[in-house]
Chain A
């Protein structure tokens, strides 16, 4: 799974209409909980973006975040013209890294053909709303430092650097170099 590549809209460029019907105006995506019948479209959306087909993985995600949500886990989709055009997945995590319960967003994606229409913003707002309902007032996520586009999207939605700092190490390079007398651990 890959975080969404939601390109900011070009200044001055007209917003693309999602519906061909001039009477109805641009279609507004409907945000709702995921259904089992959506999973094939979600797997296809993910494969379109990442180039990897992971059907079994998506079934596991559905079992964990779709049917087994219990109010703490959320798997939402954006539906437009009867098709799934985006999704967001997140959950409330309690006391992770010593932090009070907070909402974690771990995946958001929008079909390339539906980008620049505000679908990502709607999905993010819907997830945030669900977190607020259970008393959570912080939303977190993690992004690749090299992925400027998704960072720009989150920044445009008001997210900024938090107080947690991700660290990592190459276990192969450090093999045999780890010391048991580490600082404070």
Chain B
């Protein structure tokens, strides 16, 4: 599946914040790390704030902080804020008939697997995997 740029940026941002729950992470740091414009990132972050996943703290030492429930929040919860992961087939030509029906059924199968997978992975599970990955890459670990 191909996620939109905003969705990917949202997922990366949520994971960055969730991996450092005690810190206020600046938007500039995220924008630089993922090579995105601050303007685009600001739109994404405001959506995450609106959804109650992160909070923004203004002023010196401010930034963004993860305030969601990492053990309940799934990747799907974040994805659906930006796009519908289910593919909608464009209306077929009249002659398509059964072919359209069969193709739509197959795509629905794929969507079901994508949705089930995204809906089963919590942010806590992702953070754990990221931390384990970091530990493996440390010298001597």
What is the interface size of chain A, counting residues whose CB is below 8 A from a CB of the partner?
A: 14
Q: Is there contact, CB below 8 Å, between A155 and B125? A: yes
**Partner pick for A152 among B68, B112, B113, B120, CB 8 A cutoff:** B120
Query: A11, A145, A154, A161: which has the most chain B beta carbons within 10 Å?
Result: A11
Q: Report Cα–Cα, A151/B116, bound state, in Å.
A: 9
Main SS at interface, chain A:
loop
B interface residue numbers (CB < 8 A to A): 68-72, 74, 112-113, 116-117, 119-122, 124-125, 128
Q: Is A68 an interface residue (CB 8 A)?
A: no
Task: Pick the residue among B71, B112, B117 that contacts A8 (CB under 8 A).
Answer: B71
Count A/B pairs, Cβ under 8 Å. Answer: 41
* 6 A-B pairs with the lowest CB-CB distances in the bound complex, closest first: A151-B120, A8-B71, A145-B116, A11-B69, A156-B125, A148-B119
Q: Check: A133 CB closer than 8 A to any chain B CB.
A: no
With both beta carbons as reference points, the residue of chain A lying nearest to B129 in the complex is identified as A158
Bound Cα distance from A177 to B59, whole angstroms: 69
A151 to B74, CA, bound (A): 11
Q: Which of B71, B112, B113 sits near A10, CB closer than 8 Å?
A: B71
